[in-house]
Amino acid sequence: MLRIAISLLTIPTLLAAQTFRTNDSVIRRIYDEGINRGQTERLAQVLIDSIGPRLAGTAGFQSAVDWLTATYTGWGVTARREQYGTWRPWRQGNVSMQLIAPRHQNLEVELLAWSPGTARPVEAEVVALPAVADTAAARAWLPSVRGKFVLVSAPEQMCRAPQELERNARPATVERIRQQRIETQREFATRATRFGGFAALHRSLQEAGAAGLISLSWSNGWGVNKIFAANVDRIPTVDLSCEDYGLVSRLAANNQGPRLRLTAEAQTGGPEVPMFNVVAELRGTELPNEYVLLSAHLDSWAGATGATDNGTGTITMLEAMRILKTTYPNPRRTILVGHWGAEEMGLIGSRAFTEDHPDILQGMQAVFNQDNGTWRFEIIEGQGYLDAGSHIGRWIARMPSEFTDSLRLYFPGNQDNQGSDHSSFVCHGVPAFRFQSPYAEYRQYTWHTNRDTYDKIVFDDLRQNATFAAMVAYLASEDPSRIDREQALLPAGQGGQPRRWPTCALARRRFQQ
């Protein structure tokens, strides 16, 4: 029977911490190993501090692949690198920018991913995108940018976190600033349309001989910007902090002659480099061709060190596998862990895995994916599988109460938050679920930002999450029955009609595809 309703199950707190609901000796061993002898801090320090950002096509990603493979091998866990394609190479060195007129000041700058650098320090004046009447006027203006830095984003009037403004300012002030921001963004977007839109604008500025492009993608918090990829490949594109972008923009708007000096070391070009998934395995003893898969993407953007997107997910699954090897080395079903490449480029690694391993998909009991930050897991959604609740609820009920006192289970589920690697499996009808942590602060401060660094991790929670993942993998492996793949009717979308089950996109296995 298909059903639309979504039920909410909140697991109650039964007793104090370290209260076990069953006498399951494996659960107790997993708890002791993960909580009392956990390795999350040591592992995270290597991955996030020493290896650092893991952008697809970079040496950092390859170093992470090598480190994971060696780490698993050192634990006696079978691990392999699976090449699924290639990607555009890039190597970033030192980057700095200074305001040199009308006064001197160091600026907070990030080079966007795959941007070229500068052969030597470049000094140039700054111009903003003008308000022009039409495309003819836009074309007439373009030659004036030769040899200049161009501001290609709307400035922010205020760089305070919105919740602080709402807490401390008068409602009329909050509304006035909100309306000014809307108007500024709308007016700047209108300017860009005269050049054919933002991507076309960037290409036109490159062709016109601009010295470089300066952008702003503020993330609505103190000192935090989203850092993505450049749109052009022959001139540098940098991101300035909200505060510094506003400074340079105001100087330009008031004809006060801002000049900047940019030094950017970057290597681009050359043949595409191989890209890999890392897959580790504890072979099943009774049902080796049935599988439980722990899942997390390994790659990151390059604006910071990818601590919570997705260093924490990577460490959760790595540590869970270590715990399982120590406490449950001979599982009933085969337990796999997949560390995927190029998730940030469109779920490429996990999509490629599903295309390359139809036999594993056929035998899959469940996939458990983690990809959003620190803090304890708070939600597991059934992803639209009618039978998910009967299994997951039973597994969760066997776990220590402090692991579940803030956990909510949604069955059969909406298929919310489809933009992560579990979606690569759900579209094939494979039961795949997210271990979801709180979103609000993650979206504001660390998701794809220049502040996604080691210090943001809450290690008590990370240790618990890894132990939780190990327990769920054990319970899914031992379950006497498979999760049925019958699909619920998804909630209504636009037009009031039920949403369709997602379809699978092909993995983009080369940058040039």
59 vs 496, more confident: 59
- Name the E strands within 241-382: 259-267, 273-282, 287-297, 333-340, 364-369, 379-381
Asked whether the CA dihedral 207, 108, 266, 218 is positive or negative, the reply is negative
Q: Summarize pLDDT for 440-456 with one digit per residue, the tens.
A: 999 999 999 999 999 99
Residues for the chain: how many in total? 513
| Per-chain mean pLDDT for the chain | 95
pLDDT at 25 > cutoff 90: yes
Other Cβ atoms within 10 Å of 309 Cβ, number: 23
Q: What average pLDDT does this structure show over 275-290?
A: 98
Q: What average pLDDT does this structure show over 33-60?
A: 98
Q: Summarize pLDDT for 301-332 with one digit per residue, the tens.
A: 999 999 999 999 999 999 999 999 999 999 99
Residues 217 and 190 placed together within one structural domain of the fold: yes
Q: For residue 424, give the nearest of 382, 466, 361 by alpha carbon.
A: 361
Per the structure, how many domains does the chain have?
Answer: 2
The whole-number pLDDT of residue 7 equals: 41
The whole-number pLDDT of residue 362 equals: 98
Other Cβ atoms within 10 Å of 76 Cβ, number: 10
Q: Which CATH number fits the domain that encloses residue 201?
A: 3.50.30.30
The whole-number pLDDT of residue 373 equals: 86
508, part of any domain: no
Which residues make beta-bridge pairs with 368?
A: 294, 433
3, part of any domain: no
Cα separation, 457 vs 265, whole angstroms: 30
> If DSSP states are collapsed to H, E and C, what string results for 456-513?
HCCHHHHHHHHHHHHHHHHHHHHCCCCCCCCECCCCECHHHCECCCCCCCCCCCCCCC
Phi, then psi, of 125 in degrees rounded to 5: -80, 170
Q: Which of 210, 240, 267 is the last residue of a domain?
A: 267
Weakest-pLDDT range from 16-30, 211-225, 268-282, 482-496: 16-30
34, part of any domain: yes
The whole-number pLDDT of residue 13 equals: 37
Residues 326 and 409 placed together within one structural domain of the fold: yes
Q: What average pLDDT does this structure show over 33-58?
A: 98
284, part of any domain: yes
The whole-number pLDDT of residue 174 equals: 97
pLDDT at 513 > cutoff 90: no
Other Cβ atoms within 10 Å of 491 Cβ, number: 15
Residues 176 and 259 placed together within one structural domain of the fold: yes
Question: Which token pair is 435?
Answer: 């271990």
The terminus-to-terminus CA distance of the chain in angstroms comes to 42
pLDDT at 19 > cutoff 90: no
Q: For residue 10, give the nearest of 431, 414, 393, 491 by alpha carbon.
A: 393
496, part of any domain: no
Residues 18 and 116 placed together within one structural domain of the fold: no
Q: Which of 228, 244, 267 is the last residue of a domain?
A: 267
pLDDT at 14 > cutoff 60: no
Domain that holds residue 468: 14-89+272-491
509, part of any domain: no
The whole-number pLDDT of residue 4 equals: 36
pLDDT at 1 > cutoff 70: no
Q: Which CATH number fits the domain that encloses residue 344?
A: 3.40.630.10
Q: Summarize pLDDT for 362-403 with one digit per residue, the tens.
A: 999 999 999 998 999 999 999 999 999 999 999 999 999 999
Q: For residue 323, give the nearest of 433, 474, 507 by alpha carbon.
A: 474
Q: What is the CA radius of gyration of the chain?
A: 25
Helical residues (DSSP H) of 217-270, grouped into ranges: 242-253
Distances from the Cα of 137 to the Cαs of 141, 148, 254, 409, 512, in angstroms?
6, 19, 22, 57, 34
Q: Which of 217, 236, 267 is the last residue of a domain?
A: 267
Q: Summarize pLDDT for 170-210 with one digit per residue, the tens.
A: 999 999 999 999 999 999 999 999 999 999 999 999 999 99
Name the pairing type of β-strands 149-151 and 212-215: parallel
Residues 29 and 133 placed together within one structural domain of the fold: no
Residues 85 and 122 placed together within one structural domain of the fold: no
Residues 220 and 279 placed together within one structural domain of the fold: no
pLDDT at 295 > cutoff 80: yes
Percent pLDDT > 70 in the chain is: 96
Residues 105 and 244 placed together within one structural domain of the fold: yes
Q: Summarize pLDDT for 85-116 with one digit per residue, the tens.
A: 999 999 999 999 999 999 999 999 999 999 99
Cα separation, 435 vs 437, whole angstroms: 7
499 vs 227, more confident: 227
Residues 349 and 484 placed together within one structural domain of the fold: yes
5, part of any domain: no
Residue type, 298: L
Asked whether the beta carbons of 291 and 365 are under 8 A apart, the reply is yes
pLDDT at 6 > cutoff 90: no
The whole-number pLDDT of residue 3 equals: 37
CB contact burial 48-67 (16+ within 10 A = b; e otherwise): beebbbbbbbbbbbbebbeb
The whole-number pLDDT of residue 65 equals: 98
Q: What is the pTM (predicted TM-score) of this model?
A: 0.94
Q: What are all long-range contacts of 200-206, with beta carbons under 8 Å and residues at least 24 apart?
A: 201/129, 201/152, 202/152, 202/231, 202/232, 202/237, 203/231, 203/232, 204/142, 205/142, 205/145, 205/150, 205/152, 205/232, 205/235, 206/232, 206/234, 206/235
Helical residues (DSSP H) of 261-420, grouped into ranges: 312-327, 348-356, 358-362, 388-396
154, part of any domain: yes
Q: What average pLDDT does this structure show over 109-129?
A: 98
pLDDT at 2 > cutoff 60: no
Q: Which residues contact 350 (CB under 8 A, 6 or more apart)?
A: 277, 295, 297, 338, 340, 343, 421, 424, 425
The whole-number pLDDT of residue 18 equals: 64
Residues 451 and 393 placed together within one structural domain of the fold: yes
Q: What average pLDDT does this structure show over 236-261?
A: 98
Percent pLDDT > 90 in the chain is: 92
Residues 178 and 317 placed together within one structural domain of the fold: no
Cα separation, 111 vs 237, whole angstroms: 6
Q: Which residues contact 346 (CB under 8 A, 6 or more apart)?
A: 505, 508
Cα separation, 280 vs 204, whole angstroms: 47
Q: Summarize pLDDT for 406-434 with one digit per residue, the tens.
A: 999 999 999 988 899 999 999 999 999 99
Residues 66 and 129 placed together within one structural domain of the fold: no
